[in-house]
Amino acid sequence: MQKKKSSSPSYPRRPGPPQQVRIIGGTWKRTPLPVLDAFGLRPTPDRVRETVFNWITHQIDGDWDQLDCLDLFAGSGALGFEAASRGANAITMIDTLGPVVRQLETIKDKLKADKVRVLRADAMSAARDLAQRGQRFDLIFLDPPYQQDFLAQALPLCAQLLKPGGLVYAESGDRLPFPETAGAEDALPEWLAQWELVRGDKAGMVHFHLLKLH
């Protein structure tokens, strides 16, 4: 007897009802972005993005049209499309899941977001490849799955990918151990030692940080 093919999805699912987030500012303000029902997709909450993009806007004096951006764990695309909505010069979005990448392409086409480029690739491999090819960015978004040590792997690569004066937004389930936020007296871990905390805050279980190189 022929075995019936499974109709289950080829990617892990996230428990709970479907979600959506919205773009906070710019050309596509209030536009909803669907969140794929895949395990590990945990888009940056609207109010956190509003705070973070206010920080960034202040740091760059509002000159979004000068920025080349990299969204290394794109997921829902909330961070990358937010930057595009505000007029960023170019945005590269990278994710490893096929269904996620297809949805990002669908959103890109719907918004006619011509300055957005979507790539399906492993984030770390893609970052190494971009660095080797000499590509540099003004702003890098890092919102990886929590509890998997991705920031410790990604931040050293981001140091090679940033233009002078560039910024990294890093989100995590734990506070990064800067003395300003954690009160730590010990030396920073090696993967964090070359970074300076510009701003940091917490909302619920989300710790979010804006970083630059020393």
Query: Residue 12 in contact with residue 40, Cβ under 8 Å?
Result: yes
Which among 19-23, 32-36, 44-48, 107-111 has the top mean pLDDT? 107-111
The CATH number linked to 153 is 3.40.50.150
Which of 15-24, 63-72, 115-124, 188-197 bottoms out in mean pLDDT, i.e. has the lowest?
15-24
Give me the chain's average pLDDT, please: 87
The total number of structural domains in the chain stands at 1
pLDDT tens-digit readout, 127-137: 999 999 999 99
- Look at residue 182 and tell me if it is in a domain: yes
The answer to whether residue 13 sits within a structural domain is: no
Residue 12 lies in a domain: no
Q: Is residue 45 part of a domain?
A: yes
Residue at 10 is within a domain: no
Residue 1 lies in a domain: no
- 134 Cβ contact partners less than 8 Å away, ≥ 6 residues apart: none
pTM value?
A: 0.88
What residue numbers bound the domain in which 50 lies? 19-213
208 within domain boundaries: yes
Region 7-14 average pLDDT: 39
Please give the Cα distance from 209 to 199 (Å, whole number): 6
Stretch 117-146: mean pLDDT: 95
**Exposed/middle/buried for 178, CB within 10 Å: 0-12, 13-18, 19+?**
middle
pLDDT tens readout for residues 154-213: 999 999 999 999 999 999 988 888 876 655 556 788 999 999 999 999 998 889 999 999
DSSP conformation class of 64 = G
In a domain, 9, yes or no: no
